[in-house]
């Protein structure tokens, strides 16, 4: 259940909690987190969404979770790691650290296109806090742990998981945006993320991304202040 927030990102006092689907159907402002999971080889985890998902079936995305009620960002991030990646979270000596990517959350404002048999558009108005999860295990070890736990789950939002080299991912985001969820917005947002991984966190192999971003003179894909004019509508 989601707790509504106002345009400043604050919880609305005494506002009742609402189901996730209802919040998206009404375009209610709410909070969430993204987890950018990096193997010891500094490759980034991507998920492939199940074909059964109402939004973005069969596309690439990242680990995300909504706040449950009025929990804080750190608690949501920890819960997301345990619920979405139990194969990593429940093993010792796998997760090295989990830290905020940047100090200020950003708004993900997106209207998903109507799917087959869907009568109501889903309106995402989520204030996103992003976290960097560093693993002690390499790419193949991390994938083995993720897949082993995934096979035991009853319901699957994701059909598969991949770790991607940052340089390769940067080019994929530029050249194949349609392979990602919310293609008019998420690829640009992830390019911002890759740039910040280099600029703020010094992730090796990402320095060229920061240089490319500066040369292109890009502006952030996601706004820090709520701006209804930034809502992306895809038909």
pLDDT higher than 80, residue 77: yes
Please give the residue that has the higher pLDDT: either 198 or 112: 112
The pLDDT of residue 197: 84
Give Cβ neighbours of residue 181 (< 8 Å, ≥ 6 apart): 49, 55, 56, 59, 60, 61
The pLDDT of residue 149: 83
pTM exceeds 0.75, yes or no = yes
Question: Which domains, ranges and CATH numbers included, belong to the chain?
Answer: 20-233 (3.90.79.10)
For 190, the token pair is: 């992830």
The pLDDT of residue 119: 64
Per-residue pLDDT tens over the stretch 216-225: 445 678 999 9
pLDDT higher than 80, residue 200: no
Please give the residue that has the higher pLDDT: either 158 or 93: 93
The pLDDT of residue 54: 75
């Amino acid at each position: 259940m989601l707790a509504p927030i106002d345009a400043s990102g604050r919880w609305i006092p005494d506002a009742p909690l609402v189901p996730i689907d209802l919040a998206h159907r009404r375009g209610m402002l709410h909070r969430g987190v993204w987890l950018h999971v990096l193997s010891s080889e500094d490759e980034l985890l991507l998920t492939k969404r199940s074909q059964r998902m109402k939004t973005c079936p069969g596309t690439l995305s990242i680990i995300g979770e909504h706040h449950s009620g009025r929990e804080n960002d750190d608690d949501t991030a920890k819960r997301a790691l345990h619920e979405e990646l139990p194969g990593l979270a429940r093993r010792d000596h796998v997760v090295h650290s989990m830290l905020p990517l940047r100090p200020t959350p950003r708004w993900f404002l997106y209207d998903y296109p109507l799917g087959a048999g869907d009568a109501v558009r889903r309106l995402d108005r989520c204030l996103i806090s992003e976290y960097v999860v560093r693993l002690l295990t390499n790419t193949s070890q991390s994938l083995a742990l993720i897949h082993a736990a995934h096979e035991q789950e009853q319901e699957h939002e994701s059909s598969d998981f991949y770790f991607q080299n940052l340089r390769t991912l940067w080019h994929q985001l530029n050249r194949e945006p349609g392979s990602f969820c919310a293609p008019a917005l998420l690829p640009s947002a992830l390019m911002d993320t890759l740039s910040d991984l280099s600029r703020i966190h010094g992730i090796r192999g990402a320095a060229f991304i920061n240089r490319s971003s500066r040369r292109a003179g890009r502006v952030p894909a996601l706004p820090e202040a709520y701006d209804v004019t930034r809502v992306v509508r895809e038909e």
